[in-house]
Structure 1
């Protein structure tokens, strides 16, 4: 056997070994068990950056019983939920949207999507004042370092100013989330140029708004979606505009949108998000 043949044989063996090792590597595998118990909702007093004093975590009941990695949903509340992060203030973030369903134990512990079972980690930060990109980036980095997160299944959603922050993060870092959902707030600056990354990087976007919203006009969401779709993306941005509302200032579209029972095309927002991965 000549030298060149020996080197080639060694390279092939190493390649097979590398593929075999990768195949057996469970470090990025999702949990194999199906969650049946409600998520464990816990307040966490923790300063993260200058604008977060605490957050709520909702952990799958079996999280501590395995070493698998989980999908992550970060839910961004609106201005009415701002606070210091103290135990008393943190309760504010449980009053609207997804955290309500978690608090009432009506949030499904398991989602079956395309034959795959998923259990979500949900984190709800409390900002002291209106957040900026750096505040959210710091929280995401913290979450990725503290929890076992499968980064291919990271999702971001929020309402009102939280919806705006969700849309802004999607525009600035379109390769990080696997999907985003905005409610009653979107991104408005320098459209359409600032959202071309969303289109080019195939970031799925689903936006909700009330047509009669008196706090943030529905035009904000419509313009955001239209700007993305002006680039003919492989995954067109979608919008749901509710025609009427009985809410104060007709602003609250998120109670309906975050309800696990509300579905379009057979999927609620959580199933829709989980149908996408990076």
Structure 2
């Protein structure tokens, strides 16, 4: 009788403990393995999208009825261009971030994702335009709307924060990874349902690290469902993007802030809408 009791106790602790510790990822495990897909260039005006853009679809996308996670990458000011008047303008999007990793054949997240990289023709990232672009993607691609993620560098980092600050729980994104950006601390209560992991170099003279630190602190003071994180690189300036996107910054971060202990993509996969 005593053996039966201890077995039942062990089973209960094991089963329920494991099921509560992490989100269900069966929807990811069932996806076909991506052995290298296609990144397609779509100039402004060639589609109904509000932006010219690159779109990456995994290798088995056309052979499968599965819905895929979506990652949207918002570029910095150096990648602004008008592909409607200059067809080559889109190519500057390949300088950094996921589109660069894809072009260099270094793109290998644990699970396949659709990756969309829009291009501004001028100005900064408008939250309504970002929302419209994601709506276009949902209408035209097989996207798992419970797994939409947003990342951006510099101007794009501000764009990530601005999007959630405007839409809050009505945003498409479940998680954002803003790099060398910042946002309005007065909108911190908009992040209740959105996970945030910000990155910044502590020697950044273009955008102070305090923009990211203050934003994360304000979000956490509003008691979000998932605590916001900020990772700081000592001695790094505004060029904190590549080391974050490709993971080479792991182990070089400051011990005074959140550890860079997993790829940003693995962290994204832990975030899923209910």
TM-score between the two structures when normalised by the length of structure 2: 0.79
Please provide the CA RMSD for this pair.
2.1
> Match for residue 183 of structure 1?
179
Q: Are the counterparts in 2 of residues 260 and 270 from structure 1 also a CA contact under 8 Å? A: no
Distance in 1 (alpha carbons) for counterparts of 2:205 and 2:248 = 26
> Match for residue 221 of structure 2?
230
1:196 Cα deviation after fit: 0.3
Measured at CA, do residues 62 and 265 of structure 1 come closer, stay the same or move farther in structure 2, by a change above 3 Å? Answer: same
Deviations 1:52-103 (A, max 9, x none): 2x10011101100011110000000001001012430000001012221111
Regions of 4+ moved over 4 Å:
28-31, 48-51, 260-266
> Match for residue 98 of structure 1?
98
1:137 Cα deviation after fit: 1.4
Measured at CA, do residues 144 and 31 of structure 1 come closer, stay the same or move farther in structure 2, by a change above 3 Å? Answer: farther
Helix, strand or coil at the partner of 2:43: strand
1:171 Cα deviation after fit: 2.0
Q: Which runs of 5+ in 2 are unaligned?
A: 1-25, 251-258
Q: Does 1:163 align with 2:157?
A: yes
Determine which structure has more spread, i.e. the larger CA radius of gyration: 1
1:234 Cα deviation after fit: 3.1
Distance in 2 (alpha carbons) for counterparts of 1:275 and 1:196 = 22
Q: Kindly tell me the number of residue pairs found equivalent between the two proteins.
A: 234
Helix, strand or coil at the partner of 1:173: helix
Q: Are the counterparts in 2 of residues 39 and 105 from structure 1 also a CA contact under 8 Å? A: no
Q: Does 1:251 align with 2:238?
A: yes
Q: Does 1:55 align with 2:46?
A: no
Measured at CA, do residues 33 and 195 of structure 1 come closer, stay the same or move farther in structure 2, by a change above 3 Å? Answer: closer
Helix, strand or coil at the partner of 1:252: coil
1:29 Cα deviation after fit: 5.7
Distance in 2 (alpha carbons) for counterparts of 1:265 and 1:79 = 26
Structure 2 counterparts to residues 1-278 of structure 1, below 5 A: 32-47=30-45, 52=51, 54-85=52-83, 86-108=86-108, 110-111=109-110, 118-129=111-122, 130-175=124-169, 176-188=172-184, 191-192=185-186, 194-198=187-191, 200-201=192-193, 203-245=194-236, 250-260=237-247, 262-263=249-250, 266-278=261-273
TM-score between the two structures when normalised by the length of structure 1: 0.78
Distance in 2 (alpha carbons) for counterparts of 1:50 and 1:267 = 33
Q: Are the counterparts in 2 of residues 159 and 185 from structure 1 also a CA contact under 8 Å? A: yes
Helix, strand or coil at the partner of 1:138: helix
1:181 Cα deviation after fit: 0.3
Q: Are the counterparts in 1 of residues 34 and 60 from structure 2 also a CA contact under 8 Å? A: no
Structure (1/2) with the larger strand percentage:
1
